[in-house]
Chains A and B, each alone.
Chain A
Amino acid sequence: MTYERGLALCLVLEIALFASIGWNFFTAGNAGEIVRASAEIGLLALALTPVIVTGGIDLSVGSLLGLCAVVLGVTWRDAGWPIAVAASAAIVAGVVGGALNALLVARLGIPPLIVTLGTYSLFRGVAEGVTAGVRNYSDFPESFLFLGQGRIGVVPSQLVVLVAAAIAFWLLVHRMAAGRMLRAIGFSPDGARYAGLPVGRRLGGVYLLSGLCAGVASLLYVARLGQAKADAGTGFELMAITAVILGGTSIFGGRGSVGGTLLGLATLAVLQNGLRLADLPAELAGVVTAALLLAALGANRVLQGRTHELH
Chain B
Amino acid sequence: MSLTTTHRRELSVAAAYGALLVALAVFAPTFYQGANLRDVLVGAAPVLVAAVGMTLVILARQIDISIGSQFAICAVVAGLLAKAGLTMPIAAAGALATGASLGALNGVLVAGFGLPAIVVTLATMVGLRETLRWATEGVWVQDLPPGFQWMGLGQDVGRFAIPGLALVVWALVAWGMRHLAAGRAVYATGSDAEVTRLTGGRPRRVVFAVFVAMGALTGLAALLSAIQFIDVQTGSGVGFELRVIAAVVVGGTSIAGGRGSLVGSLLGVLLLATAGPALTFLGSQAYWDRALQGVIILVAVAADAFGSATRLKARP
- Tell me if chain B binds chain A: yes
CB–CB B301/A286 < 8 A: no
Interface size on B, residues (CB 8 A): 57
Whole-angstrom CA separation of A283 from B126 in the bound complex = 10
CB–CB B126/A289 < 8 A: yes
Kindly identify, within residues 192 to 227 of chain A, every residue whose CB is under 8 Å from any CB belonging to chain B.
none
What distance in Å separates the Cβ of B302 from its nearest Cβ neighbour in chain A? Answer: 6
CB–CB B127/A287 < 8 A: yes
Stretch of A107-115, A149-157, A168-176, A177-185 contacting B (4+ beta carbons < 8 Å): A107-115
What distance in Å separates the Cβ of A215 from its nearest Cβ neighbour in chain B? Answer: 19
CB–CB A307/B114 < 8 A: yes
Q: What 1/0 flags go to B294-312 for Cβ under 8 Å of A? A: 1101100110111001000
When distances are taken between beta carbons in the complex, the residues of chain B under 8 Å from A242 are 122, 126
Would A252 and B116 be within 8 Å (CB), given that A125-B294, A310-B193 are in contact?
Answer: yes
Q: Which of B131, B134, B249, B292 sits near A125, CB closer than 8 Å?
A: B292
Can you name the residue of chain A whose Cβ is closest to the Cβ of B66?
Answer: A290
Q: What 1/0 flags go to A110-137 for Cβ under 8 Å of B? A: 1101110111111111101101110000
Taking residues whose C-beta sits less than 8 angstroms from the other chain, chain A's interface range is 35 or more
Can you name the residue of chain B whose Cβ is closest to the Cβ of A59?
Answer: B242
CB–CB A133/B305 < 8 A: no
Whole-angstrom CA separation of A307 from B114 in the bound complex = 7
Whole-angstrom CA separation of A285 from B287 in the bound complex = 33
Whole-angstrom CA separation of A309 from B189 in the bound complex = 11
CB–CB B193/A309 < 8 A: yes
Q: Is A104 located at the chain interface by the 8 A CB criterion? A: yes
Q: Is B175 located at the chain interface by the 8 A CB criterion? A: no
Q: Is A294 located at the chain interface by the 8 A CB criterion? A: yes
CB–CB A310/B204 < 8 A: yes
What distance in Å separates the Cβ of B180 from its nearest Cβ neighbour in chain A? Answer: 22
CB–CB A287/B116 < 8 A: no
Q: Is B160 located at the chain interface by the 8 A CB criterion? A: no
Q: Is A31 located at the chain interface by the 8 A CB criterion? A: no
When distances are taken between beta carbons in the complex, the residues of chain B under 8 Å from A298 are 113, 115
CB–CB B203/A123 < 8 A: no
Can you name the residue of chain A whose Cβ is closest to the Cβ of B300?
Answer: A118
Q: Is A284 located at the chain interface by the 8 A CB criterion? A: yes
Q: Is A82 located at the chain interface by the 8 A CB criterion? A: no
CB–CB B302/A126 < 8 A: no
Would A241 and B122 be within 8 Å (CB), given that A114-B301, A132-B285, A310-B111 are in contact?
Answer: yes
CB–CB B293/A125 < 8 A: yes
CB–CB B288/A123 < 8 A: no
CB–CB B294/A297 < 8 A: no
CB–CB B127/A289 < 8 A: yes
Kindly identify, within residues 195 to 247 of chain B, every residue whose CB is under 8 Å from any CB belonging to chain A.
203-204, 207, 242, 245-246
When distances are taken between beta carbons in the complex, the residues of chain A under 8 Å from B116 are 251-252, 297, 308, 311
Would A294 and B246 be within 8 Å (CB), given that A108-B306, A284-B134 are in contact?
Answer: no
Would A115 and B123 be within 8 Å (CB), given that A283-B130, A309-B194 are in contact?
Answer: no
Would A118 and B297 be within 8 Å (CB), given that A132-B287, A287-B131 are in contact?
Answer: yes
Q: Is A291 located at the chain interface by the 8 A CB criterion? A: yes
Whole-angstrom CA separation of A137 from B305 in the bound complex = 39
Whole-angstrom CA separation of A104 from B299 in the bound complex = 10
Q: Is B100 located at the chain interface by the 8 A CB criterion? A: no
Whole-angstrom CA separation of A307 from B63 in the bound complex = 19
Q: Is A245 located at the chain interface by the 8 A CB criterion? A: yes
What distance in Å separates the Cβ of A276 from its nearest Cβ neighbour in chain B? Answer: 14
Would A287 and B301 be within 8 Å (CB), given that A121-B290, A251-B118, A294-B123 are in contact?
Answer: no
Q: Is B9 located at the chain interface by the 8 A CB criterion? A: no
When distances are taken between beta carbons in the complex, the residues of chain A under 8 Å from B133 are 283, 286
Whole-angstrom CA separation of A134 from B106 in the bound complex = 37
Would A129 and B127 be within 8 Å (CB), given that A122-B291, A310-B207 are in contact?
Answer: no
What distance in Å separates the Cβ of A32 from its nearest Cβ neighbour in chain B? Answer: 26
Whole-angstrom CA separation of A128 from B294 in the bound complex = 13
What distance in Å separates the Cβ of B2 from its nearest Cβ neighbour in chain A? Answer: 26
Q: Is A281 located at the chain interface by the 8 A CB criterion? A: yes
What distance in Å separates the Cβ of A234 from its nearest Cβ neighbour in chain B? Answer: 9
Whole-angstrom CA separation of A159 from B217 in the bound complex = 46
What distance in Å separates the Cβ of A223 from its nearest Cβ neighbour in chain B? Answer: 26
Would A117 and B117 be within 8 Å (CB), given that A108-B302, A290-B126 are in contact?
Answer: no
Can you name the residue of chain A whose Cβ is closest to the Cβ of B305?
Answer: A108
When distances are taken between beta carbons in the complex, the residues of chain A under 8 Å from B128 are 290
When distances are taken between beta carbons in the complex, the residues of chain B under 8 Å from A96 are none
Whole-angstrom CA separation of A152 from B257 in the bound complex = 52
Would A122 and B298 be within 8 Å (CB), given that A133-B287, A293-B119, A311-B62 are in contact?
Answer: yes
22 examples of A-B residue contacts, CB within 8 angstroms: A110-B302, A117-B245, A118-B297, A119-B294, A121-B242, A122-B295, A122-B298, A128-B291, A238-B122, A251-B118, A284-B134, A286-B127, A287-B131, A291-B123, A293-B126, A297-B119, A308-B114, A308-B115, A310-B114, A310-B207, A311-B62, A311-B116
Query: What 4 A-B pairs have minimum CB-CB distances, sorted nearest first?
Result: A286-B130, A122-B294, A125-B291, A290-B127
Given contacts A120-B294, A125-B292, A285-B130, 14 further A-B contacts (CB under 8 A): A108-B309, A110-B301, A110-B302, A110-B305, A113-B255, A121-B294, A125-B288, A129-B287, A132-B285, A242-B126, A287-B130, A289-B127, A308-B114, A309-B114
